[in-house]
Amino acid sequence: MIRTTTTLAAILLLSTLCAFAQHSISGTVKDINNQPLQKVSISLKGHKNSTFTDGNGAFHIEDLPAGKYTIHFSHTGFQGQDVAFNADSAMPVDVVLLPSLEQLQTVEITGRKEIGYKNTNTFIGTKTATPLKDVPAAIAYVTKELIQDQAAVRIGDVVKNMSGVNQFTFYDDLTIRGFRINGGSTTQLMNGMRTFTGFWKQPMVNYLERVEVIKGPASALFGNASPGGVINRVTKKPLDEDRKSLSFTMGSFNTTRALLDFTGPLNEDKTILYRLNLGYENAESFRVLQFDKNLVIAPSVSFLPNKKTRINFDAVYNKSNSRLDRGQSIFLGQDLYSTPISQSLNATNDYLNEETYTVMASLNHQFSSRLAFNLAYLRTGYTEDLLEHRSANAYAVDADGNVISSLIARQVFVRKKNPASANASMYLTYDANTGKVEHKLLAGYDYSQATLSPGASQMTATNYQLKNGGVAPYKAANAADYVMYKYTTASGQVINIPKPNVPSFDLLNPNNILEDMTRYVYTPQNSAVQPAFNSLGGVYVQDQIKFGALQLLLGVRYETYTDRPNYKKANETKVNQHALLPRVGLVYSATKNVNVYGVYTRGYNPQDASIQSNPASGGPFDPIESELIEGGLKTEWLEGKLTGNLSVYHIIQKNTLYLAGVAEQPDLYTQIGKERAQGVELDITGQVTKDWTIMANYSYNDAVITGAKGTDTTLIGRQKPNAPKHQGNLWTKYTIPTGKVKGLGLGVGANFVTTRNVSLNSTQTLPGYALLNAALYYKVNKVQLQVNFNNLTNKIYWVGGYDYLRLFPGAPRSWQATISYTF
């Protein structure tokens, strides 16, 4: 008995000693090229023990009780990794860390997994995967989640959520900080590559992951661009997990829309990923004779053959059938409400048929954890087939040459063209350390070209009928040479007026009918669509330097722009322009939640090639030059779920072109000496709680003419067209998380814009407006019902305009109901 007791006591003592015996963990951490990684953070989950790897990638943790542990490895630029370990084992823990997803794709190759209004990283700001808070520039964005919640269909619906960005017209035509950009030129980006749209119609956004704008001249990285900023459309990329969604929408103006978004791996190893977005739309409009029929097909495939290489292919095809809407005209000398906002000048036989495609391929190869190579190519093609009755940008006249306030002179365009662009980019990134200073180096070259091939043509019917069968601008001194007819004015007076080649539009008796176009006299107007070629090549280098709480960005680009006047003709020539474009930025981490930044950059933008080559434009014109000084704060709150950014900026631009506004010379431009825009922007984005999301912004922008040439000194001090001084937006959504009405959500939003000048003519202005929008959501399992209400107060307003003959009213009260299924 005593012996048995002694034995049990010995066993118990031995077990206790074993339990309290101290163990250790040691090992190494390397990258995919078998190179040791230093300063890797190593911690034990659920314990306070932690350490870092040394210069050889080795680590050691002592004084651990026996048992099982989970070791967490984390390092900037690498994917975190958890390793299970038993302290009783004497085996070393050797780990290979993979570069983070962002490091592997300085262009986005695999999709963003974040869900919500907030986006953490940007590729557009520095061409490297950089947290937004560390980029010395103001970058606005709207994610697909906000787009879905607002049932936004086009860019014009999206940009109201961005401070300092608003519409110029109905078209793919915007202003950023008071400076105009449009989809008709290759100053827009898709996935960071230069592209263009058809300009006349805003494409659907169902295939986009987000829309983002880098404020200020982005020329140092992307070549010539507006000093206000550049817009980047980021397409949805494949995910390594299955996600599928279908949605169907119906609503006001006989709107029908169907969307599909499928993504996931195509094989068990998840080395081939796919995404397919489809969109179909058939919608009328509050505008007379206007409609949109759109088909969007957007496939994307990612190939990940190994841990170092990623390849992606994207394509977007958009087919659109519609009519071109040149806007609303009002009676001469009367207010904006003298004609209904539904009025258009089209005829029933008008049409606009467009096809647009973009094809993009990109490659990223990680030579080591420090060195990566990127190669990308994007091609855009566009086909336009247009027939339109439109304003001739003037009122009709009587026999004495006096303007008739109720008659809008019209003209007809019949046009076919097929412009294209190509863009190639390659660059290297390298991470290096010099002592305690970290460097992220970037060096690259890109080339883009835009062409309009021979075969494009335009026929125009305009002016007034001559008795000899011809047409000409009307001159009262030669009234006897013109065909005349009787017209009854608003006061009942019968007068003689010259007969137009194309029937004028009578505001007193509007009649959008099928016109007999065989009676028109047409003349070629191919100067607007003659063959054209321009190219852009740039070499750039950049260093992102980090020393403690201080980050410095230094970049410079040397750019060559080439234009070929009289392209494809015997007298073709070549014109080259060069520009050196610096960029200097600074970020200081004042606290854990607050970064302070400042930036200086210069911009350059050659004039539009079609304007330069048009003999009626008044050119040639000097290129546009600009510079920006900006500073601000970038903050994160609620553990990074909510961001608040403040920016203050000052922009100078020289040599901007504006239409001269001469009635008989509609293509004539005037070049302004200097413009200035300065202001303040505030943006708040993210989650207040798990179930409460918000996006709010405000901007003050004072954009005026400060210098003029020749006789244009009267323009000094005038507000730039379609550049409101104040604008803001709020959208918030709350979803009930528990209870009987779990899944019920409410969205509420408002946006406002103050008074704007329509053109350089300061007497033509657009009133400010404030709109109220709302939405209801109800989600049950995988099905969501959603109803959106826009312009709840049925406000009459205008989003922009060129003049009082071409105004662009916003939509009245409307609704959309959507049912979606996610699986």
* Residue 480, pLDDT score: 95
Q: Which of 537, 622, 627 is nearest to 194 (CA)?
A: 537
Do strands 229-235 and 243-251 pair parallel, antiparallel, or not at all (unpaired)? Answer: unpaired
Q: How far apart are CA 282 and CA 257, in angstroms?
A: 6
Do 732 and 583 have their domain in common?
Answer: yes
Is 113 inside a domain boundary?
no
* Residue 609, pLDDT score: 64
Do 642 and 695 have their domain in common?
Answer: yes
Is 641 inside a domain boundary?
yes
Is 104 inside a domain boundary?
no
Q: How far apart are CA 738 and CA 705, in angstroms?
A: 56
Instruction: Quickly state the pLDDT bin for 109 (edges 50, 70, 90).
Output: low
Mean pLDDT of all residues in 633-660: 90
Statement: residue 14 has pLDDT above 50: no
- Per-residue pLDDT of 416-449, as tens digits, reads 999 999 999 999 999 998 888 999 999 999 999 9
Instruction: Quickly state the pLDDT bin for 154 (edges 50, 70, 90).
Output: very high
**Where residue 146 sits, what CATH number does that domain have?**
2.170.130.10
Do 661 and 588 have their domain in common?
Answer: yes
Alpha helix stretches (DSSP H) within 538-580: none
Instruction: Quickly state the pLDDT bin for 68 (edges 50, 70, 90).
Output: confident
C-alpha distance across the termini of the chain, in Å: 69
Q: How far apart are CA 32 and CA 77, in angstroms?
A: 13
Mean pLDDT of all residues in 389-416: 95
Do 346 and 226 have their domain in common?
Answer: no
Alpha helix stretches (DSSP H) within 709-780: none
Percent share of the chain, pLDDT over 70 = 92
How many domains is the chain built from? Answer: 4
Statement: residue 32 has pLDDT above 90: no
Do 145 and 294 have their domain in common?
Answer: no
Instruction: Quickly state the pLDDT bin for 70 (edges 50, 70, 90).
Output: confident
Is 402 inside a domain boundary?
yes
* Residue 103, pLDDT score: 47
Q: How far apart are CA 225 and CA 179, in angstroms?
A: 10
Do 315 and 419 have their domain in common?
Answer: yes
- Per-residue pLDDT of 299-328, as tens digits, reads 999 999 988 899 999 999 999 999 999 999
Is 115 inside a domain boundary?
no
Do 145 and 47 have their domain in common?
Answer: no
- Per-residue pLDDT of 156-183, as tens digits, reads 999 999 999 999 999 999 999 999 888 7
* Residue 314, pLDDT score: 95
Q: Which of 660, 558, 669, 665 is nearest to 607 (CA)?
A: 669
* Residue 613, pLDDT score: 64
Is 114 inside a domain boundary?
no
Statement: residue 6 has pLDDT above 70: no
Is 107 inside a domain boundary?
no
Domain boundary among 62, 96, 130: 96
Mean pLDDT of all residues in 200-204: 91
Taking the CB of residue 740, how many other CB atoms lie within 10 A of it? Answer: 6
pTM of the predicted model, to two decimals? 0.85
Do 686 and 780 have their domain in common?
Answer: yes
Domain boundary among 232, 258, 283: 232
φ/ψ of residue 511, rounded to 5: -150, 100
Mean pLDDT of all residues in 538-556: 95
- Per-residue pLDDT of 140-150, as tens digits, reads 999 999 999 99
Do 432 and 539 have their domain in common?
Answer: yes
Mean model confidence pLDDT for the chain: 89
Instruction: Quickly state the pLDDT bin for 235 (edges 50, 70, 90).
Output: very high
Domain boundary among 486, 506, 523: 523
Do 193 and 322 have their domain in common?
Answer: no
**Where residue 756 sits, what CATH number does that domain have?**
2.40.170.20
Mean pLDDT of all residues in 331-342: 95
Question: In sequence order, what DSSP letters do the residues of 731-749 get, joined into one string?
Answer: EEEEE--SSTTTTEEEEEE
Statement: residue 706 has pLDDT above 60: yes
Do 531 and 624 have their domain in common?
Answer: yes
379 neighbors 421 (Cβ within 8 angstroms): yes
- CA-CA-CA-CA torsion for 512, 514, 517, 518, nearest 10 degrees? -150
Do 561 and 677 have their domain in common?
Answer: yes
Q: Which of 26-40, 256-270, 454-468, 507-521 has the lowest mean pLDDT?
A: 26-40
Is 562 inside a domain boundary?
yes
Statement: residue 575 has pLDDT above 80: yes
Percent share of the chain, pLDDT over 90 = 65
- Please give the residue range of the domain that contains residue 57: 2-96
Q: What is the largest CA-CA distance in the chain?
A: 140
Question: In sequence order, what DSSP letters do the residues of 474-489 get, joined into one string?
Answer: --GGGGGGB-EEEEE-
Q: How far apart are CA 294 and CA 355, in angstroms?
A: 10
Instruction: Quickly state the pLDDT bin for 217 (edges 50, 70, 90).
Output: confident
Statement: residue 4 has pLDDT above 90: no
Taking the CB of residue 490, how many other CB atoms lie within 10 A of it? Answer: 11
H or E segment at 220? helix 219-222
- CA-CA-CA-CA torsion for 328, 333, 337, 339, nearest 10 degrees? -50
Mean pLDDT of all residues in 717-730: 95
